[in-house]
């Protein structure tokens, strides 16, 4: 979950960074970016007033050809939002996987029961918020794909696809914002770790043997894992038979692995 938090923080930074280029306005470039038939001070004056009216740090683009023939800043903004969507899709899928159960899945997470349950399986808690977030994320990824094509669709000094680009970006912002709020309120705030199930899986795990390799060597660690697997027992029980480490030593190194 600390990894999820960093992923989201980085996504937020990417969006903030992408905003800087979006503040560059093409106003005053007239038809194709030349600025023909405008007052020499029109661009700067107009942008200054827009900035004052909106309280948003807009600036006049230095080169009007660049921002009228292409909408690269908006394409980059859409891409940053798409990256956030990818992160949210990964997180929601992880939580859906870790919460599935209670018997035939991991069930390491206990999620809120927002609905009575499955219409077919009584008592089943459906991960509806994960499913909703997944659909929103996929839609945003689709919006970005259209924005990419629109951004590449300019001819010479004019790109006329801005309505499509703006519609998709605004929709992406709206649905991903709403989904994040709902995901937090109706899922994350009520989700708890299933400590009993986690402790069981941890005790049964054979991957912990990796922490023993530097201590007893790779060959013995491999034999320990294979013995535990072949005899359907834990590493602790296997070590009692093979006697590679004293019990207190084994607990020490296994604890280190868990903390890592």
Q: Are 79 and 152 in the same domain? A: yes
Q: How many domains does the chain have?
A: 2
DSSP 8-class letter at 158: B
Q: Mind listing the pLDDT tens digit for each residue in 52-98? A: 999 999 999 989 999 888 999 999 999 999 999 999 999 999 999 99
* Residue 216 structural domain: 205-257
Residues 15 and 138 both lie in one domain: yes
DSSP state for residue 107 in the 8-state scheme: -
Q: Please state whether beta strands 59-60 and 109-110 pair in parallel, antiparallel, or not at all (unpaired).
A: unpaired
- Single pTM value for the model: 0.85
- Choose one of 194, 215, 241: the last residue of a domain: 194
- 260, pLDDT greater than 60: no
Q: Are the C-beta atoms of residues 78 and 172 closer than 8 Å to each other?
A: yes
For residue 51, being part of any structural domain is answered with no
pLDDT at 103: 83
Does 74 share its domain with 128? yes
Which tens digits make up the pLDDT trace of 16-55?
A: 999 999 999 988 888 888 888 889 899 999 999 999 999 9
Residue that has been written with the tokens 């859906």 in this structure: 96
């Amino acid at each position: 979950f600390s990894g999820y938090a960093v992923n989201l923080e980085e996504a937020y930074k990417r969006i903030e960074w992408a905003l800087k280029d979006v503040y560059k306005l093409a106003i005053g470039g007239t038809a194709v970016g030349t600025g023909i038939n405008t007052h020499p001070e029109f661009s700067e004056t107009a942008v200054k007033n827009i900035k004052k009216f909106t309280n948003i740090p807009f600036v006049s683009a230095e080169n009007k050809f660049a921002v009228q023939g292409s909408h690269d800043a908006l394409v980059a903004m859409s891409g940053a939002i798409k990256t956030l969507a990818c992160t949210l899709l990964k997180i929601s899928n992880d939580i859906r996987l870790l919460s599935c159960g209670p018997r035939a899945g991991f069930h390491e997470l206990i999620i809120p029961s927002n609905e009575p349950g499955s219409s077919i399986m009584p008592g089943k808690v459906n991960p509806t918020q994960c499913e909703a977030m997944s659909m929103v994320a996929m839609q945003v990824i689709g919006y970005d794909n259209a924005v990419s094509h629109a951004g590449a669709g300019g001819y010479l000094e004019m790109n006329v696809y801005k309505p499509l680009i703006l519609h998709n970006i605004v929709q992406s912002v709206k649905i991903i914002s709403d989904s994040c709020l709902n995901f937090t309120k109706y899922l994350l705030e009520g989700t708890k770790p299933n400590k009993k199930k986690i402790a069981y899986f941890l005790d049964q795990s054979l991957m912990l043997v990796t922490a023993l390799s530097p201590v007893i060597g790779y060959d013995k660690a491999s034999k320990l894992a294979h013995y535990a697997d072949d005899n359907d027992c834990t590493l602790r029980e296997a070590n009692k038979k093979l006697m590679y480490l004293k019990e207190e030593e084994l607990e020490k190194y296994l604890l280190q692995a868990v903390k890592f």
